[in-house]
Amino acid sequence: MKDLTFSMSRRSVRACILVLITVLIAVLIVLLIGPVAHWIARHDKGGAPSPEQIDAVRGRLFQVATGILALGAFWFTARNYGIMRDQHQLAQRGQTSERFVQAVELLGSSSMDVRIGAVYVLEGISRDSSQDHPVVMEVLCSFVRRRSGERSEPEVGVSGDVRPPPPDMQAALTVIARRDHTRDCTPMFLEGANLAGANLEGAHLRRADMTNTNLRQARLHGADLQNAFFSRADVSYAYLHGADLRHADLRWAKMEHVWANRTDFRCATFWGADLRRGDLHRADLRNADLSRKEVDLVTPPGSSSSMTHLTGPFPEGWQISSYHFPSVKMDQAILLGAQLEGADLRGAESLTREQVQATANYSEHLLPADL
């Protein structure tokens, strides 16, 4: 009732303003036709003007008045357009918020079809609103992590292939993979998710957190995985053909039987990774680090940040912790045509001279001592 009264009062005010403007325009027209025109004509001639001279002055005055009225009309229209646009944006924002809340609620539905529909509603929101895009992606990543934890065991079918994720989870992964990554505020967070058998071909997952993620038999052809974190992830039997893993963190990653034909591993870190029987045919491993590492982390008193590459002795109260990264397992890994220029292979285990000689290039001083 209060809103209705307020709306009626605003309409009354606008009507009064419109009447006042109309009266002022009428008075202005009368003044222009009468006294003002006579005064200007008399001033121009210096005496009593003729009717023709008065008509000429009236014509000029009408032109000026018309221009002023046109400018006023333009300003009034632009102002009303701005008000209408703001109101439209507010209405759209309210509708988007309502759609978002409903879609998030529907993600918890017991119906598979309803959950899939909710995923694509959220995708529509992320496309329509760059402001809502980051929140939508966080919700979808959370949904994937939650649903992946509900996947039943065993995941391996009769033929030995890993069963793909349920349709609603794959739908969320598809939306994440094809999103407009230029709108991202933070990398995708999929730590610990069970993505075995998932289809992420061509996905943009740069700097994504895949720590402890199960990507067994996942399809990642052509994916952008630069600077992504795969520490302790299971990437065995995964398809990485043509993927970009430059500067990726693959420490302790399980990569047995990985299919990495023409994959870009430049400057990637493989400390302790298991690459046994992996297919790295024509992969680019230039400046990759496959060495054995002992890393000392030094933490000053009262600090939560650790530092490396510091030499002691350290003052009392400084915490020193060491992390051992074992050798990279390379038993029967296919390195035919792989580029190894600058790659540090001094920690590679079970690497043979034949494997190394099948590569495109390598550095003798960065090979294991037994080679």
Query: Where do the domains of the chain lie?
Result: 11-99
Alpha helices, H only, the chain: 2-31, 37-45, 51-106, 112-128, 133-148, 167-177, 353-357
Report how far apart, in Å, the C-alpha atoms of 263 and of each of 78, 153, 333, 353 are: 56, 31, 14, 22
- Between 270 and 323, the higher pLDDT residue: 270
Task: List all residues 6 or more positions away from 71 whose beta carbon is below 8 Å from its beta carbon.
Answer: none
Confidence band of 145 (pLDDT split at 50, 70, 90) = very high
- Between 336 and 154, the higher pLDDT residue: 336
Lowest mean pLDDT among 76-80, 264-268, 326-330: 76-80
Helix axes 51-106, 2-31, angle to 10 degrees: 160
pLDDT of residue 126 exceeding 70: yes
Residue type at 35 in one-letter notation: P
pLDDT at 1: 46
User: Exposed, middle or buried, 359 (CB in 10 Å: 0-12/13-18/19+)?
Assistant: buried
Separation CA 95–CA 89 (nearest Å):
10
- Between 51 and 189, the higher pLDDT residue: 189
Number of Cβ atoms within 10 Å of the Cβ of 82? 10
Separation CA 222–CA 187 (nearest Å):
18
Q: Quick one: which of 297, 311, 351, 309 has its CA closest to 328? A: 351
pLDDT at 177: 96
pLDDT of residue 159 exceeding 60: no
Confidence band of 3 (pLDDT split at 50, 70, 90) = very low
pLDDT of residue 191 exceeding 70: yes
Contact 336, 281 (CB under 8 A): yes
Confidence band of 170 (pLDDT split at 50, 70, 90) = very high
Lowest mean pLDDT among 21-35, 133-147, 287-301, 334-348: 21-35
pLDDT at 199: 96
Contact 230, 210 (CB under 8 A): yes
Average pLDDT, the chain: 83
pLDDT of residue 175 exceeding 80: yes
pLDDT of residue 151 exceeding 80: no
SS3 96: helix
- Alpha-carbon dihedral 265, 266, 268, 272, rounded to 10 degrees: 70
For 205-264, write each residue's pLDDT tens digit.
999 999 999 999 999 999 999 999 999 999 999 999 999 999 999 999 999 999 999 999
What is the arithmetic mean of pLDDT over 256-276?
A: 95
Contact 54, 36 (CB under 8 A): no
Separation CA 284–CA 116 (nearest Å):
38
Contact 219, 200 (CB under 8 A): yes
Lowest mean pLDDT among 56-70, 115-129, 214-228: 56-70
Contact 161, 105 (CB under 8 A): no
pLDDT at 250: 95
- Between 268 and 42, the higher pLDDT residue: 268
pLDDT cut 70: percent of the chain above it: 75
Separation CA 31–CA 37 (nearest Å):
8
Lowest mean pLDDT among 10-24, 177-191, 232-246: 10-24
What is the arithmetic mean of pLDDT over 261-286?
A: 95
Separation CA 47–CA 3 (nearest Å):
62
Helix axes 133-148, 167-177, angle to 10 degrees: 140
The sign of the CA dihedral 132, 134, 140, 145 is negative
Report how far apart, in Å, the C-alpha atoms of 239 and of each of 94, 104, 168, 183, 353 are: 43, 32, 22, 27, 27
Checking phi first, is residue 212 left (phi over 0); if not, alpha (psi -120 to 50) or beta? Answer: left
